[in-house]
Amino acid sequence: MSIPIVFVNKEGDQVNVLNQSQDILAPTPFAESVKGTNTLDINVLIKFQSSGSVGIHITLNKVRISDGSFISNVQFWDFANNGVDNEINFHQDVTLNEGEGLLFSYVNSPDSSTTIFSDTKPVVKSTTKLASTFVKCLKAIDLYKKLVAKITGGKYPGVSTLLETMDPFCLFSSGDGVRLIPSAFIKTSISDFFAFINMRFNAALGIINGELRLEKKSFWANDSNIIPLGEVSKLKTTSLSSYFISSFSIGYPNKLDNAALGNINGKYEFCMTQQYSTPVKRVNQPLDLTCKYVAGMYAIENTRLNSQGKSKTDGDTDNHVMVFNALAEPICPTTTQLQII
């Protein structure tokens, strides 16, 4: 019985998994984990009709690629050869360790015959999955305090009610941090950090009583002390043209999504640079509110997937600062955990 198992990569390129068609008459594994442990979302639909003296037994097995030896049975199907229509409709997550593969096999009688229906597309659809990992991050307030201590030699504190009370949390790591490199660190500056916070929260920096304070701009707009100017004759007003904006860009860099844009996923990424125009036509003055930090879910996950099994800092994304949103979830009366959203 010849069943070509054809992989359809619906959501983009497979990572760390080798896929190929399988002819059951010459069985070779149709999926192989070539690096690390990977979970495949297997979806099989095969319609056929068979006849003969005994039934047909079809199995989906996990095997070792090196010698083809049997590891375990994932699923099996028994059908009677009575000329009726048969169907295999199978959907399951299957985890493969490095060097393991998936193989269909069957047992049938010599006098039997099997026909695959012409309108059937025997397809295995799979999406590579990677087990959850725990990434070490810094909260925004902690990163801010470390930056202020660094630039002031530890003489002045960094204060921010905005960062202390934000919900959801902003968590920061690096490409190496996402890759779980033991020596990972965050390489950034106060200006890059401020560009991100300003883009997200419309913030401003200022000094109050020897403290570098980072708050929303509304914090600094104090209208409680109104100064009377008296009567003014022949009042003239002038527009502050330097604040006229014809267009603006806001968001995150696009460059790390180039890899993701090779497949469908990257086209749906929304944590990228967004561009808008305003009704102002008198000036051609763009405003740049983009930051250097990466928040694209596909770019970050692509970094995590492509680094599986690597231990060296040799990737283009190693030192990029990566940002996560997280909610605090209580796991016991005295402990909470941050769940990335």
Q: Residue 42 has what pLDDT? A: 76
Least Cα distance to 81 among 45, 110, 121, 44 occurs for 110
Low-confidence ranges of the chain (pLDDT < 50): 1-13, 118, 120-122, 257, 259-262, 264
Reported as half-sphere exposure (CB side, CA atoms, 13 A), residue 196 has a value of: 24
Q: Residue 2 has what pLDDT? A: 44
CA dihedral 60, 62, 65, 68 (to 10 degrees): -70
Single-letter residue type at 292 = K
Q: Residue 33 has what pLDDT? A: 78
Instruction: Report how many helices (DSSP H) and strands (DSSP E) the chain contains, helices first.
Output: 6, 21
Least Cα distance to 104 among 5, 180, 179 occurs for 5
Residue 244, beta-bridge partner list: none
Tokens of 177: 């941090």
Q: What angle do CA 32, 34, 38 make, to 5 degrees?
A: 75
Tokens of 103: 């193989």
The length of the chain is 341
What domains can you pick out in the chain, each with its CATH number? 6-129 (2.60.120), 138-217+241-340 (no CATH)
Report yes or no: 331 and 59 within 8 Å, Cβ to Cβ: no
Q: What angle do CA 113, 118, 120 make, to 5 degrees?
A: 100
Q: How far apart are CA 151 and CA 261, in angstroms?
A: 38
pLDDT digits (tens, 9 = 90+) for 283-300: 899 999 999 999 888 788
Q: How far apart are CA 101 and CA 67, in angstroms?
A: 11
Residue 101, number of CB atoms within 10 A of its CB: 24
Tokens of 306: 């492509």
Q: Residue 187 has what pLDDT? A: 92
Report yes or no: 293 and 321 within 8 Å, Cβ to Cβ: yes
Q: How far apart are CA 130 and CA 305, in angstroms?
A: 7
% of residues, the chain, pLDDT over 70 = 69
What is the reported pTM?
0.66
